[in-house]
Amino acid sequence: MRIATWNINSVRLRLPLVCKLLDEQAPDVLCLQETKVVDDSFPTAEFRDRGYTHIHMHGMKSYNGVAILSRLPFASVDVKHWCEKQDCRHVLATLPGGIEIHNLYIPAGGDVPDPAVNDKFAHKLRFLDEMRAWFPANRSKDRPMILVGDLNIAPLEQDVWSHRQLLDVVSHTPVEVEKLTALQRSLDWVDAVRRFVPDSEKLYTWWSYRSADWAASDRGRRLDHVWVTPPLAPALTGTRVLREARGWEPKPSDHVPVLVDLAL
């Protein structure tokens, strides 16, 4: 089973690139974030034509929005809301084998890493706290589950281009990293990508648009993740971060797809 996750920053504008990914990598399941479209306007036809007939989307006007496209049928689907908001950041579905997949778009958190003066950062921290409480209260680590998405946090030192220079930059501050790590530990989630790429090796999934030459400066961050619960860890066979997609023309996303293969 091949699982992919990609923040595409508008599914309508990026539709040709999403189709390119499906054609070239043939994931069984593709989780999208920042679809930026209401459900009635979601471009389902192009995906159905490619065999992705099972589509679970949850979108809103202009902002956020998540979707799961699948060639495999869903036994059930759901959406979850956090922080008393209806902002379309979390969908889940049950895949064959009883595997529950969670597709998340965690709040970016704004610019100032202080919850006292920045409501967006306070929202991000609360979102993490609520998830940290919900998962162990509602799910067992013995259940086969996959958690993917744009978590908007680069937890490891080699997940950013400069650990020292980003300690005060939202996405890599100690308080966020600690909360994400607490969430990860709560169900013994395994970082599927780091299973195959040593922690000592630089690895990024996002490069800012605000750079003259993203590839030359290479100031990236690993914001997009795939985690699995312990029952699925032995099934992991490989992973891929599709760095070249950052240069796909026209109009690349600032995030690239992350793919994980499981022998199931």
Residues 6+ apart with CB under 8 A from 211: 217, 219
Strands (E) across 151-223 are located at 190-191, 206-207, 220-221
Residues 6+ apart with CB under 8 A from 117: none
The answer to whether the peptide bond before residue 250 is cis (omega within 30 degrees of 0) is yes
For DNA, the closer of residues 195 and 243 by Cβ is 243
| CB 30 to DNA: min, Å | 18
CA 83 to mean position of chain CA atoms: 19
| Residue 185 binds DNA, judged by CB under 7 A | no
Whole-number Å distance between alpha carbons of 164 and 166: 6
| CB 9 to DNA: min, Å | 5
| CB 19 to DNA: min, Å | 16
| Residue 50 binds DNA, judged by CB under 7 A | no
| Residue 107 binds DNA, judged by CB under 7 A | yes
| Residue 12 binds DNA, judged by CB under 7 A | yes
Q: Tokens standing for 86?
A: 């209806």
| Residue 251 binds DNA, judged by CB under 7 A | yes
Specify the stretch interacting with DNA by CB under 7 A; choose among 5-13, 90-98, 126-134, 240-248.
Answer: 5-13
Query: Strand 66-70 to strand 76-79: parallel, antiparallel, or no bridges (unpaired)?
Result: unpaired
| Residue 209 binds DNA, judged by CB under 7 A | yes
| Residue 108 binds DNA, judged by CB under 7 A | yes
For DNA, the closer of residues 61 and 185 by Cβ is 61
Residues that bind DNA (CB under 7 A): 9-10, 12-13, 36, 61-63, 107-110, 120, 152, 208-210, 251
